[in-house]
A and B are shown apart, each in its own frame.
Chain A
Amino acid sequence: AQSVTQPDIHITVSEGASLELRCNYSYGATPYLFWYVQSPGQGLQLLLKYFSGDTLVQGIKGFEAEFKRSQSSFNLRKPSVHWSDAAEYFCAVGRVATRQLTFGSGTQLTVLP
């Protein structure tokens, strides 16, 4: 069975600082990996996805993620955080064939002024 672990429940960074959110997955085949962001009371917005090809994926809002098969990781990064990035971030893995996603429990990001 597939699973996703986001080891950090809550992260606090200062505005302008760099950010890395960790994601580890367990999956027996080629994974389809996503990062979504959710603001309070809102749905999920796709930041980026990895399907195949280049392991460094660029997304919206200046985010990027790197797929490392050997470490079963798909960490999300941003070089300089903005106050508007404060939200909850979810990593998800899915079967390429079916698009049925398994989500991690999320990381809550707080940005200090």
Chain B
Amino acid sequence: ETGVTQSPTHLIKTRGQQVTLRCSSQSGHNTVSWYQQALGQGPQFIFQYYREEENGRGNFPPRFSGLQFPNYSSELNVNALELDDSALYLCASSLGTGANGNTIYFGEGSWLTVV
């Protein structure tokens, strides 16, 4: 139990639609990152939010966007869904981004299937 909760756990969308995934970070954690894990692969970094500001982005197109709220919860939005967007989306939270060695905790993920 990491204290990071994600919703929904599973969903099916049609190509071209839009989806919003949600993440509640562990209490007190002000940094949230999102990862995409395609079947049979390791997670890939999408972006990170620190104190409501985007703080780094991986190699993902602009149709992947995010938001962090004052309570540090976060949303991942994907527009114009493509079949290749089918994956497990993982949220990770931690305290700060400095060199303090704090642990990064992952949620159970949201399974997205695009048909």
Contacts and interface: CB of A to CB of B under 8 A. Distances in A.
Contacts, number: 65
B43 A90 contact: yes
Interface residues of A, number: 27
A97 B107 CA distance: 22
Interface stretch (B12-20, B66-74, B78-86, B96-104): B96-104
B42, B55, B105: most-surrounded residue (chain A CB, <10 A): B42
A41 B108 CA distance: 8
Interface of B: 2, 31, 33, 35, 41-45, 48, 55-56, 58, 90, 92, 94, 97-99, 101, 103-109, 111
6 contacts: A90-B42, A97-B99, A99-B48, A100-B33, A102-B45, A103-B43
